[in-house]
Amino acid sequence: MGWFEKLYQKGCSASGAAKEEQAKKLRQNVTMTEHQVELEDLLKGYKTSQERGLTPEQAAANLAEFGTNELTPPPKTPEWVKFMDEMTGEFNLLLWAAGVACFVSYGMLPQADNLYLGVVLFCVVTVTGVFSYLQNAKSDNMMNEFKSMRPPRVTVVRGGEVSFVDAALITIGDIVKLEQGDLVPADIRVLECSPNMCVDNSSLTGESDPIKRKPECTNADPLETANLCFFGTQVPEGSCVGVVVKIADNTVIGKIAQLALSTEAEQTPINKEIHHFIQIISAIAFALGISFFAAALGMGQDAVTSLVFMIGIIVANVPEGLLATVTVCLTLTAKRMYTKKVMVKNLEGVETLGSTSCICSDKTGTLTQNIMTVAQVVYDTNGAPKIQDAGSSFTKGISTFDTESAGFKALVKCSTLCNTCNFDKYFEDEVTGKRVLLPFSKVRVQGDGSTITEILWKTRGNASEGAMIKFAQGGPIQACFGKRDVDEMRRDFGKVFDIPFNSKNKYQVHVHCESPDPENDDKDRTIYMKGAPERIIDRCTQYMCGDGRVVEFTQELRSEVEKAQMAMGNNGLRVLGFCTKTLPIKAYGKAYPWSDGRDLGKSTANFPLGESKALASYKAGMVDDKGKPLDPPHPKSGEGLIFLGLMALVDPPREAVPGAVAKCKTAGIKVIMVTGDHPGTAEAIAYKVGILWSPTARKIEEMNAAEGLQPGDVGYQDPALAQAIVVPGWEISDDDPVAKWDAILAHPQIVFARTSPQQKLVIVGNCQRVGHVVAVTGDGVNDSPALKKADIGVAMGIAGTPVTKNAADMILLDDNFASIVAGVEEGRLIFDNLKKSICYTLTSNIPEISPFLCWIVFLTPMPLSTVLILAIDLGTDMVPAISMAYEDAEADIMKRPPRNAATDHLVTGKLMCLAYLQIGVMQALAGFYAWMLVLNDYGFPPVVLVGNPGATAPTGKLGFFADQVMYCKFKGGQYVNALGQVDEGQVIAGDKDPWAGSVSVGAGLRRDPSEVGPRRQYPLWDRGDAGYLESCSFAAKNFNGRRAAPKAGQTWSGGFDYRDADTYKRRTDGQPLPTVESIYALQSQKYFEYVPWRGRMSEFWDSKWLAWDITRSEFKLAKGAKAGVLGYKNNKKAATFSFLGQPPGVWSVCLGNDGNLQGKETDSDLVKLPKMDQLYKGVKMEHVDLPTTCAGETKYRTWYKDAVFCNGGYDANGDAKGGAGCADLDDVTANLFYCKPTDGVPSCRPDCESASPAEIAADIAAHPKAEDRTIKQCQNVASRMVQKNALMHSQAAYWVSIVVVQWADLLICKTRWLSIKQQGLRNSVLNFGLFFETLLAAWLCYGGIFSVLGTQPIRFTHWMPGVPWSMMIFMYDETRKYMMRATSPEVVDAVTGAIKRQAGWIEKSTYY
């Protein structure tokens, strides 16, 4: 349950204090007195009578007073709340916040990548939220399942008449009648019942045997007394009449229901770990974001750009793909567990099972098979009674009985005929409605791979008798008698008379004849008796030998039988004795009046039953404990019987359970048995499966006594030091002091027996209190509160009730405890694999964050865009991260102790150190190496990067690189044209050369880039033999115009047209811009326009950049198809006001300030760029050779508010566009020129003939529309476009290098301890992930969609820079793991087998 659902329920429910008080009351043990009150007083208090029941009027009054017999339904959580809970988990909220931040960032500074990132983040959260909702969707029908335990109609006595009433309408005081097969409709006190009346309390107490009921109170504890029947239990045998004493929520089941509903599910460990991880990652993200936001502001960056930068840092820290990775990993593991017969209802429960340090397991059906089975038999072998194995799982399938033995045959015959249990052999086909005969048994494969023989014929009747007929049907009945089945056996030996089993006699008697027709059979009759061994042995005077002879039952033989009984009883087996007697037909003929003696006024039957002791001890006038006279025994009952043998029954442990328990001990998991069964039975099974393996205090006392040892004697053992303890339920309660519970739970071997549902809840709570992560198993209704309270509740899929399955987090489809251990291994594996997946994911955070830090700290171009970060987190990293879910367990996974939830988190300091400071740093270095290498290959060596910030989209006051023309100081080299021809000083007609007056310029003189700038015809710089770049910078942005943006529209109405200088109006939307004065300031210090020849040799080069026709549609950014390539797509400001960094003309602050800059400057808030400030500060205008007259000097970090825009254009009347003085700048208008037609075709070419002002004016007059003019307005955008494309390629190379180093990262994250050689490469999904991320990266680079993501078709050689770093990462981690294993020796615990490592310093420092 998440915070949203908790908030909803908090608003809809009672206060916390009230709920806690109610829960405390519900946790108290069941208290009732109705079973102890005198019956007459009880009925009088209810105003009812046994004969007539309630009057209709009284029944109506009681119904009005006490309400209907219906359980209070729980508050239902609406589906929309559950959906919102999934959508607003903590990790989801983090991603929602990151998405909102991206949209805010886009709103403040429109950059398409932030928009894409925001949209994708929203999609990721929505998809994973919907997925989790659908996966976890389940109806909470717990109360409906409780209702299903109530019968639809009940037989009630009201007003002296028997009627059928809806179970919801019965009330306190009603007299109800129950028959065999009925469900008990309420808590009732038994008034009278048949001798064989019993109830099946397995759903309430866990007892597998039906419990006898009788009218007398036998125990003060309501759960132990024999005169109460509880709501929801069943009547398998007999009948009774009772009075309703509790209904609805006041019944025992009702209190369990309320307890289950009031018990809040514990927060899962994985949920806690994700919360812990979010706290860490959020703290890091916000700390870095705020720190660098402050740093950016301190460096002079404006608040908006600084905020965008901060958002970028935060988003880069958030592993966007981790939510999907965790969800998919848990889902995959849940599916894998399903193949192991474990169905996961709650995804987070997958990992919880792996965190389990304590398993509180029910006994019946979980540790045992919940199938009462004949384990051993005793009959005469070679003249003495011997124990023989009966082929059960208790004896590991071994059978030693002899079907040819007459003694064994007689034993099987007795157990089959003296038996009322029957088989249900048929299955009703729901489609056809036909009854289909089932095979007797089939072999079923369990989740751990072991097999178990499942009996498909269901038994109807007593479980012990069912075990006997299953044993007979399994082979002996055919081998011994040639009968097809039990039914045929019983038909062939017709029943004459029977005495049902009762708790007083503790035996059952059947009399059979030798044919199917008792009325016409003339052969002798045979008595068959079974019962408690001591009752059977006492009644026998003869003994049947293995060859069929009958001999005297000597004391020696009796002793041997008793020894066998004791041996089987000590093994936790339930032993029954069998005897027989053949009666002559002459004495007991066809018309003999068989009787149990009651109708004859006798205390015993009127035929031989070995009642010689009763006959001998009876004296006339004897009375019972209530003073009533005792009936005399019948004289014929004294004759002794023939002893046949014994059968030992057991609900056998599942074959795989002992091994699974041993595995738990090795794994450091404490297994506690919590059962409602008897302490003796529970203890025997616990020793059998290995939950107990050393003696309890009681056994130690018995051993001391047997040896006659006293304290201080040699060999004396102190009972107080016993490691094992068996705690009966009557010794514990919710009110017990903490010290008592601590003392109990300090024992390593614990069994809780005879526990109530409330006590199970208290046991679980105390285990959690001492620090355990508790898993609880259960199948009965009584287990449901504890299942909900536990960290993970595990219900039985076969034997479990619907209520239990509803309360549980996972279901064992095969009811096998061993499947829990398999689940623990899977849970540990998923925690390990999630750690590995997170480590793999986080390592890329450093190479994702460091570009932002480099950008703001070293003021470099942006090495990586946010969209490419998204391509890593949600693209290339996704499949490899998910593939970790398929990774096999490392060798020691089930030999490690359970993780310490307080210290061993999903994300630890060691993991962060390894991911961030070790592997992450190496990955970042690989990225920067690739980034710098690519930029250097395209003409931008590392020396020109520092101090020249920029990105592939406008970035406000940090927009220089890729946004403006770059100016460099050359040392040597040469100027060339696009064909590689060197500028040798050739004379070009009409050439306007700004440096024509320099002494180094002239016909036949090779231009010296160290002294003069390039001509339009030779714009590229080539290093030649030994040239290099000394330094590079950008023109200072020293004009900050009006805050208003230019108004688009028709030029005649005053609208803005980027081609018309008259329409600029000094409106720059508050954006700072470079001016011709700052350009001349650079040129005066020998910094000239830089277009690298290496850029010309690149795959992205476009020669049109050297002479770009600005009238072409591609240049109209509002609708241009290539606007994205130019860097301004979807940027509304840029679409309105083109090329902020390189406008089609120049701004002049001298012309805007009437030729005098003195005192006109104001302080700017530009980012401090040391190189630019150094070049700009103190430059006198009269020294820069401006064509216009200008006074003043440039000052450090200042700008001007007035400027004039000039672009060399002229009106039709010959006046210069832009204003007075613009004509003086015609020859120096940076990068802008007007080309006359070449060969009669209007076009822009670097070597075109320049048009004169008169020609420009005439062309404008002749062609009012710019598109129709023959003289083209052209601009050299190559410097900026080479920067931009080189930066995009370098960013793509940085991104590809991360993919390459992630190859090694994926391999090293396969293991936390073992070498890759030991673990192997068997994970085919991970191997696919390696290929997937590589192919995806290649497709994104070369698939033609790079205009969205910013990826580029980089050279193959630019994939290589990351390879040596990838190899270094792999070798570094393999060395680390080797040294960790070498310095951390392992020690095996002698008792549990758990492996404990003595951690060395490398493990302590780096093992995550």
Strand partners, 187: 246
d(CA 504, CA 726): 29
Please report which helix (H) or strand (E) contains residue 322, including its range.
helix 322-339
Task: Give the pair of three-digit tokens for residue 984.
Answer: 């040798």
DSSP state of 920: I
Taking Cα atoms as reference points, which of 496, 519, 491, 522 lies closest to residue 509?
496
Whether 229 and 177 have beta carbons less than 8 Å apart is answered as no
Please report which helix (H) or strand (E) contains residue 687, including its range.
helix 679-689
Whether 836 and 1267 have beta carbons less than 8 Å apart is answered as no
- Beta-strand relationship, 240-246 and 187-193: antiparallel
DSSP state of 711: T
Taking Cα atoms as reference points, which of 875, 877, 867 lies closest to residue 842?
877
Report CA Rg, the chain.
47
**Catalytic residue (one of 85, 302, 362, 651):** 362
Q: What are phi and psi of 443, to 5 degrees?
A: -90, 125
Q: What are phi and psi of 702, to 5 degrees?
A: -65, -40
Q: What are phi and psi of 1228, to 5 degrees?
A: -120, 10
d(CA 820, CA 660): 8
Dihedral sign (CA 520, 521, 524, 530): negative
Whether 1247 and 1017 have beta carbons less than 8 Å apart is answered as yes
Non-local (6+) Cβ contacts of 335 within 8 A are none
d(CA 820, CA 350): 11
Q: Which residue stretches of 1225-1361 are H helix?
A: 1253-1262, 1278-1308, 1316-1319, 1324-1342, 1346-1349
Whether 671 and 361 have beta carbons less than 8 Å apart is answered as yes
d(CA 396, CA 474): 16
Tokens 């916000």 correspond to 286
- Residue 337 identity: M
Question: Can 380 be counted among the known catalytic residues?
Answer: no
d(CA 939, CA 467): 89
Whether 146 and 781 have beta carbons less than 8 Å apart is answered as yes
> CA dist 1133 to 579, 788, 1048, Å?
105, 59, 11
Whether 179 and 843 have beta carbons less than 8 Å apart is answered as no
DSSP structure string for 155-196: EEEETTEEEEEEGGG--TT-EEEE-TTPBP-SEEEEEEE-TT
The alpha carbon of 1334 is separated from its chain's Cα centroid by a whole number of angstroms, namely 28
d(CA 862, CA 856): 9
Tokens 């008379």 correspond to 497
Dmax (CA) for the chain in angstroms is 155
d(CA 1091, CA 1015): 12
- Residue 278 identity: I
Tokens 């035929």 correspond to 607
d(CA 1254, CA 1212): 9
d(CA 351, CA 831): 6
Non-local (6+) Cβ contacts of 409 within 8 A are 403, 480, 481
Whether 377 and 474 have beta carbons less than 8 Å apart is answered as no
Enzyme catalytic residues = 362
